[in-house]
Amino acid sequence: MDTWDLTDQMTPEDGVLWIHDTDERETMAFTAFGIGTLKELIADQPEAES
């Protein structure tokens, strides 16, 4: 699973926010808690075989 798939599953309670621009663009942002949550999610992923 790549990082985008992990972040796409996160909710505001996990520390992820969406910034809505005036041009109807959306940008994902993270609180300090969200960055920690994402690091934990990444660490919990099985290693990819080379």
Is the residue at 37 inside a domain?
Answer: yes
Q: The domain containing residue 35 runs over which residues? A: 3-43
Per-residue pLDDT, 49 = 57
Distance between alpha carbon 3 and the CA centroid of its chain, in Å? Answer: 7
Whether the Cβ atoms of residue 8 and residue 36 lie closer than 8 Å to each other: no
> Does some domain include residue 49?
no
Q: pTM of the full predicted structure? A: 0.74
Distance of CA 30 to the CA centre of its chain: 7
**Domain annotation covers residue 48:** no
Residue-wise pLDDT for 1-50, tens only, equals: 788 888 988 999 999 999 999 998 999 999 999 999 999 999 998 876 55
Q: How many domains does the chain divide into? A: 1
On whether residue 10 sits in a domain, the answer given is yes
Residue 4, pLDDT score: 84
In degrees, rounded to 5, the angle at the alpha carbon of residue 37 between the alpha carbons of residues 41 and 1 is: 25
